């Protein structure tokens, strides 16, 4: 009954990262809580965000056309890409048409989703990440383990060692975070200066104005787009929001949910090309219209990519982002992976305790846990249900369907207490790997009930009286 996730999570738990990974992300969750409690209208904001997203999802074609009209009128080139291949080819065509060989990228999960960097590198175009965490991972040849804090799984010592290996003039043994950040800034500044083109992702595309809004904490999007004359901004089609009034709802929610800040340090609005420059917007589908057609999962298009569901998830915090087989981990990634390819990413579906904490914190009120529960119920239809779990469920169903058998099983459950240890804890019993078998009482609850041994529940008044 092991899954790829559970095996990788087992490895993560054996190392020394699990405790501080858990504690660090819980701290981020606590900051988010403090921020949300500081706004009396927090729940109204979440309701408004969900309502705006539901409206946008049901008016996508109109809003996207409005966005295109307004952006085009401002002198922006608007492109449409139906899938990852078309997206990558569009970016490469734009760069090649300008002879651009050095691209600076600010963090874009869409580029990660579509495999843009290897596509460009294969065509001789350098695509340098400019977000600090993303750049570290690019040098380490690793994928992000979190959508907002991509290098959260790394220790500062590992980053110091990397910088020394890369010849970044970092003193031996000095792994102070501020020192390393300054070293990275010094060393990578030339990438911004030498770039032929800049690319950014986009948090929100405003239909009313035809502008793309990009939120960062490092200012790397602004740094990247300030020097080269050629800019490309790409986004999944679900990023469109109707107007600036609705934009205000999302910018108030995003940073508070993501990192517990009142707002991101930088919020850039890209609306028209710079004088003498070119601005290209690429609107990407890549499976999003299929999600739109799925009533059970359409709410996944509400996602703001804030990462709050990861920070709160007890499984994510203790298993780390690289334990998941889809490039986006945590509750949001489980669902998006299943929507992308259920047979390939089904291993992640069991990485959920169904505690529902993710949907309690989600600023866009996505029913993440309920959707994961729905996926579990259809796994067999994709031929990926665990055979062992399936047979156990069928056997249990058969026993429950026969009350006499069920009663006999419950009455005799205490016999399990005296079974030899090796019979309970062996490689056939996955449960026994991490759990102690419970001690079964000699008398079942229903037997106790019949004999009047079970006390009726006490009222609150009685409990209060005892406290007094
Ligand atoms: S599903 Fe909700 S909580 Fe998770 S990343 Fe998306 S918006 Fe944030």
The residue to which tokens 């950040």 are assigned: 181
Q: Is the pLDDT of residue 14 over 50?
A: yes
Of 332, 357, 382, the residue that ends a domain is 382
Give start and end residues of each alpha helix (H) in 288-411. 288-292, 308-312, 314-319, 330-340, 342-345, 357-361, 368-378, 387-400, 403-411
Assess whether 209 and 354 both reside in one domain.
no
Host domain of residue 219? 39-154+196-290
Whether ligand 1 lies within 6 angstroms of the CB of 369 is answered as no
Whether ligand 1 lies within 6 angstroms of the CB of 333 is answered as no
Whether ligand 1 lies within 6 angstroms of the CB of 309 is answered as yes
What's the rounded Cα separation, in Å, for the pair 137 and 401? 53
Estimate the share of the chain in helix, then strand, then coil, as percent rounded to the nearest 5: 55, 10, 35
The residue to which tokens 């921020």 are assigned: 35
* Domain-located, residue 177: no
Query: Model confidence over 127-164: pLDDT tens digits?
Result: 999 999 999 999 999 999 999 999 999 999 999 999 99
What integer pLDDT is reported at residue 445 of this predicted model?
A: 84
3-state secondary structure of 266: strand
Q: Is the pLDDT of residue 194 over 70?
A: yes
What's the rounded Cα separation, in Å, for the pair 257 and 310? 11
| Lowest mean per-residue pLDDT among 151-155, 375-379, 390-394 | 390-394
Whether ligand 1 lies within 6 angstroms of the CB of 71 is answered as no
Residue 428 pLDDT class (50, 70, 90 cuts): confident
Q: Is the pLDDT of residue 319 over 60?
A: yes
Asked if residue 282 lies in contact with residue 71, where contact means CB atoms within 8 angstroms, the answer is no
What's the rounded Cα separation, in Å, for the pair 319 and 324? 9
The residue whose CB lies within 8 Å of the most ligand 1 atoms, and thus the one to mutate among 308, 327, 330, 334, is 308
* Domain-located, residue 120: yes
- Identify the H or E element spanning 434: helix 430-434
Whether ligand 1 lies within 6 angstroms of the CB of 329 is answered as no
The model's pTM is 0.89
Ligand 1 atom nearest the C-alpha of 147 is 5
Of 382, 409, 432, the residue that ends a domain is 382
Assess whether 99 and 246 both reside in one domain.
yes
Asked if residue 328 lies in contact with residue 109, where contact means CB atoms within 8 angstroms, the answer is yes
Torsion sign, CA atoms 77, 82, 84, 85: negative
Q: Is the pLDDT of residue 165 over 60?
A: yes
Query: Model confidence over 40-89: pLDDT tens digits?
Result: 999 999 999 999 999 999 999 999 999 999 999 999 999 999 999 999 99
DSSP sequence for 33-93? HHHHHT-TTHHHHHHHHHHHHHHHHHTHHHHHHHHHHHHHHTT-EEEEESSHHHHHHHHHH
Give start and end residues of each alpha helix (H) in 141-236. 156-165, 177-194, 220-226
The residue whose CB lies within 8 Å of the most ligand 1 atoms, and thus the one to mutate among 363, 367, 371, is 363
- Identify the H or E element spanning 118: helix 116-121
* Domain-located, residue 8: no
Assess whether 141 and 221 both reside in one domain.
yes
CATH code, 378: 1.10.1060.10
What's the rounded Cα separation, in Å, for the pair 50 and 185? 38
Measured CA distances, 4 to 150, 348, 351, 402 (Å): 21, 8, 10, 36
Mean pLDDT of the chain: 93
CA-nearest of 249, 232, 31, 45 to 149 is 31
Whether ligand 1 lies within 6 angstroms of the CB of 308 is answered as yes
Assess whether 67 and 200 both reside in one domain.
yes
What integer pLDDT is reported at residue 448 of this predicted model?
A: 85
Query: Model confidence over 25-34: pLDDT tens digits?
Result: 999 999 999 9
Assess whether 139 and 229 both reside in one domain.
yes
The residue whose CB lies within 8 Å of the most ligand 1 atoms, and thus the one to mutate among 257, 312, 339, is 257
Of 290, 322, 347, the residue that ends a domain is 290
* Domain-located, residue 181: no
- b/e map of 235-255 (b: 16 or more CB within 10 Å)? bbbbbbbbeeebbebbbbbbb
3-state secondary structure of 236: strand
* Domain-located, residue 260: yes
Could you give the angle at the alpha carbon of 149 between the alpha carbons of 23 and 371, nearest 5°? 85
* Domain-located, residue 411: yes
CB neighbour class for 123 (10 Å; exposed up to 12, middle 13-18, buried from 19): middle
457 CA distance to ligand 1 middle (Å): 40
Query: Model confidence over 236-287: pLDDT tens digits?
Result: 999 999 999 999 999 999 999 999 999 999 999 999 999 999 999 999 999 9
Assess whether 72 and 122 both reside in one domain.
yes
CB neighbours of residue 44 within 10 Å = 11
Asked if residue 290 lies in contact with residue 83, where contact means CB atoms within 8 angstroms, the answer is no
Assess whether 201 and 244 both reside in one domain.
yes
CATH code, 112: 3.40.50.10420
Residues in the chain: 468
The residue whose CB lies within 8 Å of the most ligand 1 atoms, and thus the one to mutate among 251, 257, 332, is 332
CB neighbours of residue 282 within 10 Å = 21
323 CA distance to ligand 1 middle (Å): 19
What's the rounded Cα separation, in Å, for the pair 425 and 290? 45
Assess whether 331 and 419 both reside in one domain.
no
Residue 460 pLDDT class (50, 70, 90 cuts): low
Assess whether 269 and 376 both reside in one domain.
no
3-state secondary structure of 241: strand
Assess whether 245 and 144 both reside in one domain.
yes
Whether ligand 1 lies within 6 angstroms of the CB of 305 is answered as yes
Residue 389 pLDDT class (50, 70, 90 cuts): confident
Assess whether 262 and 366 both reside in one domain.
no
367 CA distance to ligand 1 middle (Å): 10
* Domain-located, residue 168: no
Overall number of domains in the chain: 3
Assess whether 275 and 370 both reside in one domain.
no
* Domain-located, residue 125: yes
Q: Is the pLDDT of residue 235 over 90?
A: yes
Ligand 1 atom nearest the C-alpha of 335 is 1
Whether ligand 1 lies within 6 angstroms of the CB of 330 is answered as no
Mean pLDDT of 191-200: 96
391 CA distance to ligand 1 middle (Å): 35
């Amino acid at each position: 009954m092991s899954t790829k996730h559970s095996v990788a999570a087992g490895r993560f738990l054996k190392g020394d990262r699990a405790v501080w990974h858990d504690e660090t992300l819980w701290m981020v969750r606590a900051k988010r809580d403090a921020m949300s409690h500081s706004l009396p209208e927090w729940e109204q904001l979440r309701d408004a965000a969900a309502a705006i997203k539901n409206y946008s999802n049901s008016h996508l074609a109109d809003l996207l056309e409005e966005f295109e009209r307004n952006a085009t009128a401002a002198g922006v080139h608007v492109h449409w890409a139906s899938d990852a291949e078309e997206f990558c080819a569009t970016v490469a065509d734009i760069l090649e048409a300008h002879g651009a060989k050095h691209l600076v990228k600010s963090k874009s999960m869409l580029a990660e989703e579509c495999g843009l960097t290897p596509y460009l590198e294969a065509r001789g175009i350098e695509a340098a990440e400019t977000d600090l965490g993303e750049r570290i991972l690019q040098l380490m040849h690793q994928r992000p383990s979190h959508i907002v804090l991509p290098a959260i799984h790394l220790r500062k010592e590992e980053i110091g060692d990397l910088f020394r290996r890369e010849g970044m003039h970092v003193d031996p043994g000095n792994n102070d975070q501020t020192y390393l950040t300054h070293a990275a800034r010094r060393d990578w500044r030339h990438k911004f200066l030498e770039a032929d083109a800049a690319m950014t992702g986009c948090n929100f595309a405003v239909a009313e104005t035809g502008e793309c809004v990009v939120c960062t904490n490092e200012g790397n999007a602004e740094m990247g787009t300030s020097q080269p004359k050629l800019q490309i901004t790409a986004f999944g089609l679900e990023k469109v929001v109707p107007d600036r009034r609705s934009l205000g709802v999302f910018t108030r929610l995003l940073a508070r949910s993501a990192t517990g800040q009142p707002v991101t340090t930088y919020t850039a609005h890209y609306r028209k090309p710079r004088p003498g420059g070119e601005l290209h917007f690429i609107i990407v589908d890549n499976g999003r219209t299929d999600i739109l057609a799925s009533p059970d999962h359409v709410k996944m298009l509400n996602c703001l990519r804030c990462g709050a569901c990861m920070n709160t998830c007890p499984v994510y915090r203790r298993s780390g982002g690289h334990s998941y087989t889809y490039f986006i981990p945590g509750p949001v990634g489980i669902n998006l992976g299943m929507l992308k390819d259920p047979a390939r990413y089904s291993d992640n579906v069991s990485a959920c305790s169904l505690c529902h904490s993710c949907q309690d914190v989600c600023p866009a009120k996505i029913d993440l846990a309920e959707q994961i529960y729905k996926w579990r119920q259809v796994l067999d239809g994709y031929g990926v249900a665990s055979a062992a779990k399936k047979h156990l469920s069928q056997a249990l169903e058969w026993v429950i369907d026969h009350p006499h058998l069920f009663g006999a099983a419950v009455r005799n459950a205490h016999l399990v207490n005296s079974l030899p240890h090796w019979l309970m804890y062996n490689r056939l019993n996955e449960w026994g790997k991490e759990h102690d078998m419970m001690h079964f009482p000699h008398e079942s609850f229903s037997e106790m009930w019949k004999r009047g041994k079970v006390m009726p529940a006490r009222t609150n008044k009685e409990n209060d009286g005892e406290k007094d």
